[in-house]
Amino acid sequence: MNRNQINSMDSRALGADMRLLEILSQTFPNSSSASTEIINLEAIMNLPKGTEHFVADIHGEHEAFLHILRNASGNIKRKVKELFGESLSEREIRELCTLIYYPEKKLEMINEKTDEDLSQYYAVSLYRLIQVCQSVSSKYTRSKVRKALPRQFAYIIEELLHENPIDDDKEAYFQRIIETIIQTGQAQNFITVICNVIQRLSIDQLHILGDIFDRGPGAHIIMDYLLTRENFDIQWGNHDALWMGAAAGCDPCIATVLRLSLRFGNMATLEEGYGINLLPLATFAMEYYAQDPCKEFIPQTEKPLDEKTTRLISQMHKAISIIQFKLEAQMRLKYAEWEMNNQGTLEHIDFKQGIYVIDGKEYELKDKLFPTVDPSDPYRLTQEEEELVDKLHHSFRISEKLQKHIRCLLSHGCMYGIFNGNLLFHASIPLNEDGSLKDVTLNGRKYKGKELLHHIGMYIRTAFQNDVPKAERQKARDYFWYLWCGPDSPLFDKDKMTTFERYFLVDKSLYHEEKGNYYKLREKPEICDSILDAFEVKGNNRHIINGHVPVHASQGENPIKAGGRLMVIDGGFAKAYHKTTGIAGYTLVYHSRGFLLIQHEPFTSTREAIINETDIKSSTQIEVMTGKRVRVRDTDKGEILQRQVRELRELLYAYQHGIIKEK
């Protein structure tokens, strides 16, 4: 038997490609290193799974969102109470928690309030913080904790985390480290670093189920924060797709982004966040809508604006709305295959009589002033409007920060995700009336279910790829608008969007938007099971997790549906939804013992949280515990590690039998 035959037999016995083992041998060059890695991976797989946090529909409410991440949806406070509930007062617990959430600002306030030596305060705080850090890091390997530590303090923190100050033999050693940190003037830096490590280790994986943008003032701040994190993923929402389209250069998306920002008086994200120049729009609006009261376009703001500002925003709001309706009509004519002709607006106005006529019926208009609309060609942009659109288009395209944030959405995001038996998507899966998956046409081909979401994700990425032909790239850019309001869009899934009707028509019956079959059928367990099967989600304890539609908690609506198979976690982060939902958001937490659905009350402000040491009031609404503690071995990561162990065992076999030589 020749050498080739022996190698062939050995490969079949190993069950692995020899080339793979040879590549693996470059990292693990001998039996000892391969054995050590097998032992390490087996140990990791026996640890409890990391804690996953799921949030949806943040809508620019950066202060509430960041506070929830800082307090790990209340988990850090629970840890502090477990550790110090018997030894610290409620006030001291609040103070320690506030220090963990906002270390820099809290320490700055303490320094401003006193001229006394703070050495004792630093020492006590450090002892307590190290205990909290030991607790939150206990489920991770030393290697993983080490990677979470900043380089300048990594060695010292690691020593403190793995030594017991109560041990008599180590007490002096431990105490001396603390004293030296204070004596060298590093106490504040060290406390800040420890607090940040506690925050990071309290959330192992962050899942965002869409709609980071619109309504609230700080979407750009949220995106800046995400760029500093590891281990997060985003399932795109309709508002995210809208901003992606605007950044790609889709003019109807740009107009809609501006309209929504003006509607909620949210100029911060546009101007301060992304440097979008709104002066051309303001100048245009003041000229053409100077005599228009714009009563239906007064911004909806949390705090009242002065009369002059309200007047200007209202004029800008109406000006961009009319431009949006014109651009959208042009898009409908351009893409007849999208079948969006039922969304007619300006062409149904009888300008002479000042009424709206559709299907032979006449309807009263709330607003009859259309200074830039030509009745004979209502969707033609005036020359001034065309020039304005060009300027706004340019402003969005050259915004470096906006483009950077959209790249983050593309690199960390997609239309859906599957994690540890949970299927995540923002809004909907198009269904037929009988609950079967609906065929949807995308770029001339039909897809459904998992294939549909996958191909949408791939297709819209071409809008940002310069190696794609220009015409194809433009069509992909335009498709963002369809994702925003198209009847078969998984991010919308309604028969039409009645924006024009809400602004201009008195009859509220015309505001109705008929939801797709997914929303009508998703509370049926068998429908959820069929969707999970179609997406090949495995496991006995599997779920669909959605956002998009706010849960009316104040009216008794249950966020857990379909016999526990579906969890809807849009609790209304945006202040605009608080009256509707009665709460201010949900966080779904999945730790090694099961699921917790945390309900949050409205958050006042970061400033109040620091000064008055207040926290978001949160309560556990749903608690679903698994029969046994979930280990890393039972997770998606565990599957990868088990495959690595199998490959390493085969490498070890190859070493032991002389098939591959050790180095």
Q: Tens digits of per-residue pLDDT, 389-405?
A: 999 999 999 999 999 99
Look at residues 501, 498, 504, 509 and name the one whose alpha carbon lies nearest to residue 294.
504
- Structure confidence by residue, pLDDT tens digits, 489-538: 999 999 999 999 999 999 999 999 999 999 999 999 999 999 999 999 98
Per-residue pLDDT band for 549 (boundaries 50, 70, 90) equals confident
Amino acid at 401: K
**Long-range contacts made by residues 306-313, C-beta under 8 angstroms, separation at least 24?**
312/282, 312/285, 312/286, 313/262, 313/265, 313/267
| β 594-600/618-625 pair status | antiparallel
Q: Name the residue among 656, 605, 610, 645 with its Cα closest to residue 64.
A: 605
Q: Which amino acid is present at 553?
A: A
> What digits encode the pLDDT tens for the residues 313-362?
999 999 999 999 999 999 999 998 998 866 668 999 999 999 999 888 99
- CA distances to 88, 140, 195 from 134, rounded to whole Å, are 18, 10, 12
Residue with the two structure tokens 């032979």:
360
Confidence of residue 594 (pLDDT cuts 50, 70, 90): confident
**Which is more confidently placed, 278 or 601?**
278
3-state SS, residue 596: strand
In whole angstroms, what is the distance from residue 663 CA to residue 659 CA? Answer: 13
Q: How far apart are CA 101 and CA 103, in angstroms?
A: 6
Provide the token pair at 283. Answer: 């100048």
Q: Which residue has the higher pLDDT, 257 or 154?
A: 257
Mean pLDDT, range 455-462, rounded to an integer = 96
pTM: 0.90
Q: What is the CA radius of gyration of the chain?
A: 29
Least confident interval from 64-78, 573-587, 610-624 = 610-624
Unique residue bearing structure tokens 């433009």: 474
Q: Which helix (H) or strand (E) holds 89?
A: none
DSSP 120: H
Distance between CA atoms of 584 and 580, rounded to whole angstroms? 10
Give the whole-angstrom CA distance, residue 496 versus residue 348: 16
